[in-house]
A and B are shown apart, each in its own frame.
Chain A
Amino acid sequence: MTDQPQAPRTAPIQSATFSNPVNAEIRRAAATGIYDIRGGGAKRKVPHFDDLLFLGASMSRYPLEGYREKCETSVTLGTRFAKNPIQLDIPVTIAGMSFGALSGPAKEALGRGATLAGTSTTTGDGGMTPEERGHSNKLVYQYLPSRYGMNPDDLRRADAIEIVVGQGAKPGGGGMLLGQKISDRVAEMRNLPKGIDQRSACRHPDWTGPDDLEIKILELREITGWKVPIYIKVGGARPYFDTTLAVKAGADVVVLDGMQGGTAATQDVFIEHVGQPILACIREAVRALEDLGMHREVQLIVSGGIRHGADVAKCMALGADAVAIGTAALIALGDNDPKYEAEYNALGTTAGAYDDWHEGRDPAGITTQDPDLMARLDPIEGGRRLNNYLKVMTLEAQTIARACGKNHLHNLEPEDLCALTMEAAAMAKIPLAGTDWYPGKPGTGY
């Protein structure tokens, strides 16, 4: 008896469409009947600042000496109407994150770090805490649809007011703070029963559209004596029109948040499928400001996936006045630190991937209201780490700016950049590397 030769068989091929992670999510949905809620921003790969490069100096460009020659980093925000614009030493600000989503010590650490670095931090959807105000030299007070904790005394204590129309992780969406994080203190600040899930509305309760918003801004200015700048924050949806309407409504500053920007808790499908990458938004917002003759008159802050000084410099070169960081600031404090790997494993995840911030079981003690976990974050040490990180980002941005011959970060310009991909070239309106062309360039016919 002889063995029959086996016929050649097709090798197993995993579907690119129905990949293992996709199939796992289908099985999870089928088992639980509930969509996935998580924190953070878009995790999918999208065109980003990595797809841009600086050209640096050459025969036709004159660099500045890297350690000796001055490269300014200061920025003034709110010069249009406010009596007291905000002066920052560096153009990197801390984005709005709520007390409730974050612990009290985490908010304090953000305030401490921002103050040491000479920049501002921002409240969130839970009101202003005394420790945050006390440790923040420059504090931006968010004015949100929920109005949790909103009161005129805190409004007057703020250095600026940020009216939140949308955020990059969920343009058009509201928020949810699950009951696990509603401690006595959080419940009291929000005027709701302890332990229940709290919804934050997706639109403001007392105005609809930019015409109403103009009147709302008048009211806020009257209450605060026209002293502090008023920002309008929008998600990366329709940046040209959103910026135009924000300026029309009377904003001193426009804050534009791309889809990589984080949230405390939102449906994964929302985070990954609604909104645009920040790379695609900046030039359109700048175009709107230029068309109105308001570029640099109304300042532009951009956010969503900013990680280091090169990202900061690229944002400035594309026309932004400053950037805001959220996720990166939390990582600087210790979020997703591998030293907690065993605890992340116990939660069914791994360091770097932990995003169930809404559950309040954060091993790093940042996105929690659990007293034992909260105690793991020392706000003084957290502030020191954040300050260090902000300093490094600034030094990195200065290094690049000097190499481009610029004595202020604001002097960086699109001409300093090239794009590595067609997508990035089209979105950022920056020539593809090795060419003088980008898709859609006026006068090129295509």
Chain B
Amino acid sequence: MQTFDLEAQGLRALNSTLHAQAETTNQTAWEIVNPKGAHAIAVGLDAPIEVNVKGSTGYYCGGMNKQATVHVHGSVGPGVAENMISGTVLIEGDASQYAGATGNGGTLIIKGNASSRCGISMKGIDIIVHGNIGHMSAFMAQSGNLVVCGDAGEALGDSLYEARLFVRGSVKSLGADCVEKEMRPEHLTILEELLERGGCDAKASEFKRYGSARQLYHFNIDNAY
């Protein structure tokens, strides 16, 4: 286990050290102490390493991650795991706005709640939230899966493309072109795997599925305001 004191050694040293880890590195376990809400912790990683952040972080923790597992033992600020390509980002606490924004792949697990715009413009990432999510989540979400074990706020899935949304609790309102859809057996299979991956004890049968009505896919004057 390599331990890195962020307060003492600084952000540039942290990220450059983590970036220097090769695909075949033996130093696969890292611990970051004293994060103290710093921004851009463990961004742009591209190696099969595990980074444990002992505390809460600021903006964009785990941004553009590839391969790595980033485990935050606290809460995270806006844009956690934004534009992630692969790997896993696991948050023990809550997440602020834009969690998993534009993510292309990998898994983002939030054990607490996520604020507004969770999964905005997601492009293939799987996001699993144990708690609730805020308003305008999955706005313009293109692909991937968003699993919410709690409730969803207003305007869920506004202007949605092909992302799948699974919500166990209530949905305050659906956004434009987002509709409830039939939960077919293949969706239950997908959801069961996601719940297992996210460490959730919920049952797939308790969820509803939401998706795009595909009525905004072609420009139509009736869609203009």
Hey, which bits of chain A sit against chain B, CB under 8 A?
Answer: 33-35, 37, 146-147, 150-152, 155, 176, 178-179, 190-193, 196-197, 199, 201, 205-207, 212, 215-216, 218-219, 222-226
A contact residues around B40 at 8 Å (CB)? 215, 218-219, 222
CB-CB contacts below 8 Å: B4-21 with A:
11-12, 15-16, 19
CA distance A192 to B102 in the complex (A): 13
Once bound together, how far apart are the Cα atoms of A226 and B59, in whole Å? 18
Which residue from B19, B39, B82 sits with its C-beta under 8 Å from A218?
A: B39
Quick check: A223 and B142 within 8 Å, CB to CB?
A: no
Pair B39/A192 contact, Cβ less than 8 Å: no
B79 and A206 contact, CB distance less than 8 A? yes
How many whole Å from B92's CB to the nearest CB in chain A?
Answer: 21
8 of the cross-chain contacts (CB-CB < 8 Å) are: A34-B219, A151-B85, A152-B64, A205-B139, A206-B97, A206-B101, A219-B79, A222-B40
Bound Cα distance from A176 to B221, whole angstroms:
14
CB neighbours of B121 from chain A (8 A): 146-147, 201, 205
> From B65, which residue of chain A is reached at the shortest CB distance?
A152
Additional A-B contacts beyond A201-B121, A216-B59, A223-B64 (13; CB < 8 A): A146-B121, A147-B102, A152-B44, A152-B46, A155-B44, A191-B123, A191-B143, A192-B161, A197-B219, A201-B140, A205-B117, A219-B63, A222-B12
For the A-B complex, the count of residue pairs with Cβ-Cβ distances under 8 Å equals: 104
Residues of B near A223 (CB, < 8 A) are: 15, 43-44, 63-64
Give the CA-CA distance A212 to B79 in the complex, in Å.
Answer: 11
CA A216 – CA B101 in complex, angstroms?
A: 13
Any A CB within 8 A of the CB of B168:
no
Chain B residues touching A, majority SS: loop
- Contact among A34, A197, A206, A219 for B221, CB-based, below 8 A: A34
Q: Which 9 A-B pairs have the closest CB atoms?
A: A223-B44, A206-B98, A196-B217, A206-B79, A147-B102, A206-B101, A152-B64, A219-B40, A191-B123
Interface check B83, CB cutoff 8 A: yes
Contact check: which of A147, A190, A218 meets B83 at CB < 8 Å? A147
Kindly list chain B residues whose C-beta atoms are within 8 Å of the C-beta of A222: 11-12, 15, 40, 43-44
Within 8 Å CB of A155, what residues of B? Answer: 44, 64
**Min C-beta distance of B175 to chain A, whole Å:** 14
Complex Cα spacing A199 to B212, Å: 15
A396 to chain B, nearest CB (A): 42
CB of A360, distance to nearest CB on chain B (Å): 14
Task: Report the separation of the CA atoms of residues A151 and B106 in the bound assembly, to the nearest whole angstrom.
Answer: 13
